[in-house]
Structure formats: structure tokens, C-alpha cells
Amino acid sequence: MQRLRRTSQLLLRCRSSASGLFYGHQRTPYDSIKRPYWENNHLAFYYTTSNHMGAVQASVNVGLHTSHKIPRRSFSSASTSIQRSPLFSTLNSDDVSYFKEILGDKTVIQEEDRLLAANVDWMGKYKGSSQLLLLPKSTEEVSKILQYCNSRRLAVVPQGGNTGLVGGSVPVYDEVIINVGSMDKIISLDKVSGILICEAGCILDNLNTFLANEGFVMPLDLGAKGSCQIGGNISTNAGGLHFIRYGSLHGNILGLEVVLADGTILDMLTTLRKDNTGYDLKHLFIGSEGTLGIVTKVSILTPPKLVSTNVAFLACEDFTSCQVLGHVEGVRNPLPPSLHNFYVLIETTGSDESYDKCITPVSFIQI
Amino acid sequence: MQRLRRTSQLLLRCRSSASGLFYGHQRTPYDSIKRPYWENNHLAFYYTTSNHMGAVQASVNVGLHTSHKIPRRSFSSASTSIQRSPLFSTLNSDDVSYFKEILGDKTVIQEEDRLLAANVDWMGKYKGSSQLLLLPKSTEEVSKILQYCNSRRLAVVPQGGNTGLVGGSVPVYDEVIINVGSMDKIISLDKVSGILICEAGCILDNLNTFLANEGFVMPLDLGAKGSCQIGGNISTNAGGLHFIRYGSLHGNILGLEVVLADGTILDMLTTLRKDNTGYDLKHLFIGSEGTLGIVTKVSILTPPKLVSTNVAFLACEDFTSCQVLGHVEGVRNPLPPSLHNFYVLIETTGSDESYDKCITPVSFIQI
């Protein structure tokens, strides 16, 4: 997907989630992280040493020697020359004053360190130069922000946990960053149907922990679950480990509340499993990366938690009869030098451990 | 859902399927059918006596005595006064000539009997007065029809099997009826992934029969399956018996080919299980009743056919612990006078009959 802007009136982009770290929503803070980013065609790093929430204590920019300069790889359209549109305004002190008025001082962030973290994506491939980070606490605040930015023609970029790998959650230029991580309330869970309603800033792993106590699981699971947020998951149509079993978010998301670029709040927060009243607009916001609006609330169908989990590890001779575990470069190979060409790792969950265990691995493949 | 038109440039509406009967796609023809419809606030009937495909041999209009006039029940916005928009043109002989030129004589239907059947919905609650029924055989023909109708401002109504119960598949006034029942080719089935590609006019039961031989089933099943068509199922976001098990069409439909009101063909016929390239526009056409475009081809994920089927019939004392079988008025009660307040009928399908049978009914409820 192109990283170039797709605008209606304002730039709206969105991605999932890592830098909840900097906004007080990180549940598993790292003690010291070296994160690379690109600065004038040099690989640079900044260091975060954080033992409490919300702190970025050091930012060090280390240029490489010219002779060892690593050519910047172009993962997206960033390699082409993108010009900042003159149609967008530039932030001024009146704008900041207005945001402080509607949000309060503490959620209008201008500190350099926190801005640096919010301007860089998780992989350090993309770096923006936003001067303002906003942390709205409600749908109404998101609406007021977007309404104002629209009237002033200030570009914005929505941000979740900022764990995305394609730079969708960081500014290209000086867009105002709207991070929904402060909107992390669980609103309700129907314990009969498993329908969960929550705010977009809820961290995926927190939702899973909450649901596990009630006998349910989230229908999606991915590596970034400790930081990524459900709003970003939806905006990027995240898949993950449960995709084959529980299907796509288009099947599991029952309703959304979304704020459009002009501040209009679209309430599509139904909990009906099949709602045929009118056009099903919510699907436009699933996977559209925040370009059409910012997801603020979510209604999601969660499957029951199954009691039996089994893991099978299979060695195979050819590709056609199995799914292959990819080996990522630079990652330790957990296997000894091998006699087999392929391996398959299968995790099953079921309702009866004794039955699940008596199924042979061959049956797994046939299933 | 309102029956009033939601137009872009032309009227486009769509519903599933019964009058495949009249277009040669009915696989289980009834010998004699008495179908009621409303005529000037009188209940009228027409009779179809058909022992071969494509024949409607008799159409008899029987008005009731005035003293026994049954007041017309208003199931939808039809009770309000709907005026035919003067913006739409009226069909003339030049239009018919053009359609014969692009479709051939045999698929441009003007015979009164066949038009009568196509003008009335399955329940006989709604009756239009279309003078023309078109049976395109390809996406390109659908495109040419819509392009022409758009340029002439002729209103159209898409029609599948015409089994819908809310009058969505019949004209309100004199719209041109576009029935896609002739587009009933199965294009491909990936026997590894279970991804089926077919045309919109395929009858649901025929698809199921085809898939059963290959070890798969359609993820939806409903009473009208012998006549309803997959294009109508999608346009109406049909659910049915498999909904709880296999989820909604939003989760199972992988791709669509759609013709817009101006004749533009939208090719979204992907077979990727998770396709995040661009906006996922296909979801707008699922459940929008043909108002946005006519579905012409479908890519659908079909689950494996399971070998073990069991049916459990349970008697229960209260409502909260069970799902209740509704008793429809006028239908024979299959049970003797009962000692129990509630009954639950559960059908399970699984991969191992011996295991499935050893699960107690109590376990079913808990699951």
C-alpha cells in the first residue's frame, strides 16, 4: 500500500502500535531500547532508557562513517520525491493555545523527546517532523481536534501504538499527531454472546487478559500485542496468528464509532451479528489506514476461550504437503542441522484435551 | 430496510431468488403453484402450471368479494405514497431494438406471462408493471445494458431468483428488469484452499451439490436454496442456517465483480484471504440490495465438508438456558401435547462421528 497521502480534506493515516511506551499505556516497558532511524541518508539511533512510563531520557544521533554508509532501502513510495502540499497550513501558537483549551495542558505535547519518539516508526525507517502531539481522552475531543484542524487546514496523522512496519503511523512532514492511546476504556462485555465494546486505544494484550478471565479470547493475536492498539489493528486490518481459525476483522468487527476528517462522529457501534439496515459503511474503515477517519470505539465478537491447547512440530520432506515455517535472516535457528527439508509447527485449541491429544499429526494436516 | 429507491443515477435494486422458475434455472420445478399478489387493494392470484422449464401456462386474476376484502398490510414503506420520478424516461421501441441488438432476441422478454411472473415477488405482496425483462449472459452484456439505461435514464431493477420476502427484486413501476439467472457458470474451485469463483446467477443449492463432490460446503444455507442465487444472497447479505458456525458473508466473500449504474465494471475478484491493497470496496455491495451495482461474479471461501452430522433434540424447562424453537402459526406441531415448556434442536457437524456422539446434550449447550 502506498504511503502517499489519500486525503478527503485532511491527511488522515493510522497504524498500530509501539510507542504506547511514551504515552503511559505501555504495560511491559523496556529498560533500554536502541532504535534506528534514517536522517539525511545516514542511519541514526536514539536511545530510550525508561524505567517508568512516559520517559525518554536520552536521544543520541549517531551518524555512520561515509564509507560505510548503508544505502537507504526504499520500502515504499518514500523513495519518490514527495512534496508537502502548499494547501496545508503551518502550526502556530494560536493553534496550540486552542488545543490546550479543549484538551488541557497535559495532553498537548510539545516536549522534544516525546515528539521525537512519536515522529519515528517502530523500524526507524520513516521520520517526520511534527511539532505537536495530541492525546485526546474521548470521542468528543477527537471530533473537536479534527473539526479545528479541518477549518485551519492543518494536516493530521492518527497514531495508535505505533508498531506498524510501513510508516503509516508517523508524519511525513509536520502533521499534527493524534494519538488515541489515552482512550483505553473497556465499555462492556456481553458474557452470553461474547460481544466486547471498548475504546480504540485499548492495547490488544490487555483486552485478551480481560477476556481470558471471562472465558473469551480476542479473535486476533499478533507479535506486537503488548503495545498495539485495537483501533490501529482495525485501521490496518491486522490478521495475525488466529486468522485461519477465526477469520478476518471484516467478519468479527460488529460495529465502529469513527470520527471523520471534518469532525463528524459516525456512530455505527451496533452489536448485532447481522445488521442489514442501510449500507454497511464500517467496512470502509477496516484496513483503510485511517485515511477516511479515526476509529474511536469498537464492538467486536470474541470467541470462547478453549481449554485444551496442543502444539505439534512436524518434519516434512516436501513443500506441497505442508505449510512451511519461514526462517528470518539474522534470527537464531532453533533447530540442529537437519535431516529434513521442511518443518511445520501446528497449534490446536479445542474443548477436550484427551480427544485433541489422540489426533495424530497426520490428521492435523488432513484437517 | 426501506423499499424506496436509493439511486445514484439509476434505480438499482436486487434480491435473491425464486423465479429462476421462469428463466430455465429452476432445478426443482413445482407442478402447480398458486401465488397471490395485490391488485388495487384486492388479493389476486395467478397460477403457474409448469412441468418443464421456462413455462408459465396460465395466469388467472381472481378478485375477492368486496365484503371480504382483506386490508392490505403494510410491510414496508409501500404504504406511503410513492410517486414515479419524472426524471426517468419511458421505454420505447427503439430501446427494445437496441437491447435485441446487443443481447439477441431470445433474452429480451416481452411476453405477458413471463413478465407477470417477473413483476411479482415470491409472497405476492408487491407487483410492478415492467414491460421488459432482460436476461444477460455475461458481465459485458450487463455493462452494456446499464450503460444504455443510464444514458437514456431508464430505471432498472436487478433480479436474481426472486425469492426475497420484502419486494426488493420486483419493479415498483415500470423499471426494466435485469435478471442475472443466465449467468450461472462455475469458473473455478481451488481444491486446496476451498476458494470458489462463480457467476452471480448460480443457484445456491447447485453450488452446494458441486462443492459436496469436492469435499466442501457453501458457508451459507437457507430455505430458498433451491431457487435463490448467490448474487442475490450477497446483495441481500443473506445469513441462514450456517451463520453461527461460518459467520457472515462479509467474512467469507473474498472478491466480487460488480457493474455500476453507468456500466463501469468494478473488478474486485481477488482470491486473497486478506487483501489490504486499497479500500475494501466490495463490502459496500454486500447487503446494499443492488442499489450500488449489480453483482456479476463472486469469489467465496468455502469450508471443508465435515463427515459427521448429529442432531440432538432437547426438552427444557426455562428460556434462559436454551435457544427456543419458534412455532410458526399454521404449521403442524410435530410434538405431542408436552410436559416441557421448551425444546431445542441442535445439529452438529464434526470430523469424527464416534467422538461427536459421545458428547452429551448438556455439553452442547455449554459449548
**How confident is the model over B106-125, as pLDDT tens digits?**
999 999 999 999 999 989 99
**Residue B31: predicted pLDDT:** 32
- Flag if A287 and B279 touch (Cβ within 8 Å): yes
Q: Which of A248, A277, A288 sits opposite B274 (nearest CB)?
A: A248
Whether residue A228 has pLDDT greater than 80: yes
Burial of B281 from C-beta contacts in 10 A (0-12 / 13-18 / 19+): middle
Rounded Cα distance between A95 and A108, Å, is 11
Segment A74-102, tens digit of pLDDT: 445 455 567 899 999 999 999 999 999 99
B201 and B183 Cβ atoms separated by less than 8 Å? yes
Q: Tell me which of A276-285, A320-329, B28-37 is least confident.
A: B28-37
Q: What is the mean pLDDT of residues B214-231?
A: 95
pLDDT of residue B9: 32
pLDDT value at residue A13:
39
Q: What percent of chain B has pLDDT over 70?
A: 66
pLDDT value of residue A349:
73
All residues of chain A having their beta carbon less than 8 Å from the beta carbon of residue B273 are 243, 248
Other CB atoms within 10 Å distance of the CB of residue A285: 28
pLDDT of residue A321: 59
CB proximity list for B307: less than 8 A, separation 6 or greater:
B350, B351, B352, B353
Interface of B with A in 229-288 (CB under 8 A): 236-237, 239, 243, 247-248, 250-252, 273-274, 276-281, 283-284, 286-288
Interface residue of A252, A275, A279 to substitute, partner B, most B CBs within 10 Å: A279
Write out chain A residues lying below 8 Å of B237, CB-based.
274, 276, 280
Sort out which chain A residues have CB atoms less than 8 A from B292's CB and list them.
Answer: 279
- A-contacting residues of B 335-364, CB under 8 Å? 351, 355
pLDDT at B58 over 50: no
Find the range with the poorest average confidence among A34-48, A345-359, B211-225. A34-48
Q: For an interface test with B, give the residue of A16, A220, A245, A280 to mutate (most B CBs within 10 A).
A: A280
pLDDT of residue A97: 97
| Structure confidence at residue B237 (pLDDT) | 95
Q: Nearest by CB to B251, from A247, A276, A278: name it.
A: A247
- Reported confidence tier of residue A53, pLDDT bands at 50, 70, 90: very low
CA angle A91, A95, A98 (to 5 degrees): 165
Q: What are phi and psi of B289, to 5 degrees?
A: 60, 30
Mean pLDDT of A297-307: 93
Whether residues B239 and A274 touch (CB distance < 8 A) is answered with yes
Which of the two residues, A40 and B365, has the higher pLDDT score?
A40
pLDDT at B333: 58
Q: Is the pLDDT of residue B208 over 60?
A: yes
What domains sit in chain B, N to C, each tagged with a CATH number? 19-135+158-181 (3.30.43.10), 186-301 (3.30.465.10), 308-366 (no CATH)
Tally of CB atoms within 10 A around A50: 20
Q: Residue A234: name the closest of A189, A279, A299, A188 by CA.
A: A299
Minimal Cβ distance to B367: which of A273, A284, A351: A351
| DSSP letter assigned to residue A65 | P
- B247·A243 Cβ contact <8 A: no
Is the pLDDT at B69 greater than 80? The verdict is no
What integer pLDDT is reported at residue B74 of this predicted model?
45
Distance CA B69, CA B208 (A): 43
Indicate if the pLDDT at residue B16 is higher than 50: no
* DSSP letter, residue A113: H
The mean per-residue pLDDT over the stretch A121-146 comes to: 96
Residue bearing the bigger pLDDT, A172 or B328: A172
% of residues, chain B, pLDDT over 90: 55
Q: Return the minimum-mean-pLDDT range out of A46-50, A234-238, A292-296, A303-307.
A: A46-50
10 Å CB burial of residue A40 (0-12, 13-18, 19+) is exposed
Of A135, A120, A164, whose CA–CA distance to A290 is shortest? A164
Across chain B, mean pLDDT equals 77
**Complex confidence, ipTM:** 0.73
CB contact under 8 A, B367 and A355: no
Least confident of A40-49, A154-163, B288-297, B358-367: B358-367
Looking at A151-160, A259-268, B309-318, which range is the least confident one? Answer: B309-318
